[in-house]
Amino acid sequence: MKEIKVYSQIQQLKAQGFKKEPVAKLLHMSKNTVRKYWDMTPDEYVARAEVIRKSHTLAQYEPVILKWLYEYPSISSAQIHDWLLEHYKIKTAERTTRRLVELLR
């Protein structure tokens, strides 16, 4: 799922009268991606993003991660991943942790 910024850009260009293919070229993305967001309402986008966020592998650890981010603002996502491995024996990729930390910051 693309960021809200990308969704907004697609919707703005659509409102200005652009067609899907020029929007894809202008934003340097696949026509399929543009097509996916073209007719999506803001409510549909939010609902879809929420489902993806809640089904995240690390969703149950969000409160702990938020606590660590609050207590140690300069902590790296790699350190958080190590702590999750240490304390909770999680089995996720470091990239998964990095993405969640980026989302929560």
pLDDT at 54: 61
Average pLDDT rounded to a whole number, residues 66-93: 93
DSSP result, 42-69: HHHHHHHHHHHHHT-TTGGGHHHHHHHH
pLDDT reported for residue 92: 87
| pLDDT one-digit tens code per residue, 8-66 | 999 999 999 999 999 999 999 999 999 999 999 888 888 887 766 665 788 889 899 99
Residue with tokens 């489902």: 51
